[in-house]
Amino acid sequence: MTGLTQPYGPTSVGGAAAAAQGEGGAKTFVGALLGALGMATAAALVVAVLGATGGIRATTTVVQVPAARTDTTTGATNGSAATAPAAAAAAKPATLPAAKPVAVKRIAADATAVPPAITRTAPATVHVELTTKEVVAEVAPGETYTYWTFNGTVPGPMLRVRQGDTVELKVANEKGNQWPHSIDLHAATGPGGGATATQTVQGKETVVTFKALNPGLYVYHCATAPIPMHVANGMYGLILVEPVGGLPKVDRELYFVQGELYTNAPIGTKGHHEFSQAKLDDERPDYVVINGGALAYAGDNAVTAKVGETVRIYYGVGGFLPSSFHVIGEIFDRVYPEGGSVPNTNVQTTFVPAGGATMVEFKLEVPGTYTIVDHSLGRALDKGAVAQIKVTGPEDPTIYSGAASGGGH
């Protein structure tokens, strides 16, 4: 078999999504509930992301803030269902230490950095190198967090091999890291999916080899104890095992992975956020993110495409909340449920379980801004799980006569 090396390195895309400054010094995101900042009653603002959400317009709703609850990990307070009015009246905006200097300009993995389709007709040995890095980066402007990553981005790089390939994977743990790390690839057949062979201490390397027996789209993640903490901090990504003969040709491929951040202060709080074990245990994320950051691919950071192109999105859930994956204004021509081999057709929304993935394909018929959301919409409108595709090209009023952006959802 032929030996191949695939350069899976970190990429950087300039800029970060801007957001509005809310009362009490806390910033709001797309549709962020100001009540989440600890005020007694507040307006839930559903606003345009940098003026272009592709279908989200401003509304105002009065909400009640739940009772304060103490986070045993950090001492910070957050909502609970009991005695909401009394607790809300006493609640105060959270304060954090100042934001830390960032080690990487942008945490979000490049959504367009999909390895090319495999054209060879025989199995090969594919060499992959991943480096675990613990880095400080912005979740959003003025809000920093210490991410744990593969190759310095969230998600880690997308990997692409062919059914029948032998994958030789090296895991290096940077010397300056504070924790050991490893990898479990759902595409690998064998105990731990590679984790038993790759428990890697700081400054060392490990290697595991496996044969890619089954085609499909699979999650990989760190599997070093405590596993939930390593995963929640950003250690996940996707590996595609192409079937023999490959996938149907498309014009554009995109890579998105949804996850969560569980921190010691609500979304929008300026300063440096720390991990909260209590919120993770209760499954109460402060942020639900696509590619690591709140609104990382919205507004000026949206990916671009053209009318007439066919698009395939590789979409996974690296975290713990399943996703109701939906593109506002599009219908999926084909969906490969859970990353499997047999597609469904003409699908509006598809379920992606925790630790699972899907592939969707569609043709772009008219121009405009198309917004990607988890259709459990509080995660998108209140917590940052939004991405966008801006499509240019000729209009076709026989298909759609409305504005290129505007009301919807």
Over residues 66-83, the mean pLDDT reads 41
Q: What pLDDT, on the 0 to 100 scale, is given for residue 402?
A: 82
Residue appearing with tokens 């995101």: 29
Rounded CA-CA distance 340/219 in Å is 12
Half-sphere exposure of 331 (CA within 13 A, CB side): 6
**Tens digits of residue pLDDT in 112-129:** 999 999 999 999 999 999
Structural domains in the chain?
2-13+103-242 (2.60.40.420), 20-90 (no CATH), 252-392 (2.60.40.420)
Task: Report which secondary-structure segment, H or E, holds 229.
Answer: helix 227-232
Half-sphere exposure of 149 (CA within 13 A, CB side): 27
Rounded CA-CA distance 69/71 in Å is 6
Are the C-beta atoms of residues 172 and 165 closer than 8 Å to each other?
no
| Residue 154, pLDDT above cutoff 50 | yes
Which residues lie below 8 Å from residue 121, measured CB to CB, with a gap of 6+? none
Alpha helices in 70-221 (DSSP H): 84-90
Higher-confidence residue of 39 and 335: namely 335
Are the C-beta atoms of residues 362 and 386 closer than 8 Å to each other?
no
| Residue 165, pLDDT above cutoff 60 | yes
| Amino acid at the residue 400 | Y
Nearest to 9 by CA among 119, 159, 211, 204: 159
Q: What pLDDT, on the 0 to 100 scale, is given for residue 133?
A: 98
The percentage of the chain sitting over the pLDDT mark of 90, rounded to a whole number, equals 75
Rounded CA-CA distance 141/128 in Å is 33
Nearest to 290 by CA among 42, 96, 30: 30
Half-sphere exposure of 198 (CA within 13 A, CB side): 31
Higher-confidence residue of 370 and 60: namely 370
Nearest to 217 by CA among 269, 165, 163, 170: 163
Rounded CA-CA distance 171/7 in Å is 14
Three-state secondary-structure class, residue 406: coil
Nearest to 2 by CA among 115, 121, 119, 126: 126
| Residue 363, pLDDT above cutoff 60 | yes
Are the C-beta atoms of residues 347 and 332 closer than 8 Å to each other?
yes
pTM value is 0.81
Q: What pLDDT, on the 0 to 100 scale, is given for residue 407?
A: 56
User: Judging by DSSP bridges, how do beta strands 2-5 and 386-392 pair with one another?
Assistant: unpaired
3-state secondary structure 338-400: HHCCCCEEEECEEEECCCCEEEEEEECCCCEEEEEEECCCHHHHCCCCEEEEEEECCCCCCCC
End-to-end CA distance of the chain: 51
| Residue 47, pLDDT above cutoff 90 | no
Three-state secondary-structure class, residue 282: helix
Q: Which residues make beta-bridge pairs with 371?
A: 328, 388
| Residue 17, pLDDT above cutoff 70 | no
Q: What is the DSSP string of 83-102?
A: SHHHHHHH------PPPPPP
Q: φ and ψ at 253, to 5 degrees?
A: -120, 140
Rounded CA-CA distance 328/326 in Å is 6
Q: What pLDDT, on the 0 to 100 scale, is given for residue 403?
A: 82
Are the C-beta atoms of residues 280 and 94 closer than 8 Å to each other?
no
Are the C-beta atoms of residues 26 and 39 closer than 8 Å to each other?
no
Task: Tally Cβ neighbours within 10 Å of residue 210.
Answer: 18
